[in-house]
């Protein structure tokens, strides 16, 4: 399991502290169990923020998948150009072929 980055720690910590203070100010007469619920909710929100910051950063750095295939010039030994069109339509899903004929 990878260690959290400093950015994740900072965002999570700021979220926990700010949410806890905001909710305790909003509910000044909070009893003991209510304060624990506020702190627990803030901790859960801080963890979620830290995880979301980490996945968004990794998604930007990671490749999005295999590179798309580039269209190459048709091979002259493959036959007439119409043969390539038929082979192309055979690879498409049936729905796409039906819409193409209309």
CA distance 39 to 24: 9
pTM: 0.52
Report the distance separating Cα 61 and Cα 56, nearest Å: 9
CA 46-50-53 angle, to 5 degrees, is 135
> Average pLDDT of 37-48?
93
In the predicted structure, residue 30 carries a pLDDT above the cut 70: yes
pLDDT at 75: 55
Read off the tokens for 68: 């798309």
The gap from C-alpha 94 to its chain's centroid, in whole angstroms, comes to 31
């Amino acid at each position: 399991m990878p260690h959290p980055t400093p950015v994740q720690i900072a965002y999570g910590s700021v979220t926990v502290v700010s949410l806890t203070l905001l909710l305790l100010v909003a509910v000044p007469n909070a009893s003991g169990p209510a304060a624990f619920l506020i702190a627990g909710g803030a901790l859960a929100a801080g963890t979620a923020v830290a995880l979301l910051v980490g996945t968004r950063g990794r998604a930007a750095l990671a490749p999005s998948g295999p590179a798309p295939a580039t269209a190459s010039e048709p091979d002259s030994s493959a036959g007439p150009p119409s043969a390539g069109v038929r082979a192309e339509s055979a690879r498409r899903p049936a729905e796409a072929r039906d819409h193409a004929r209309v």
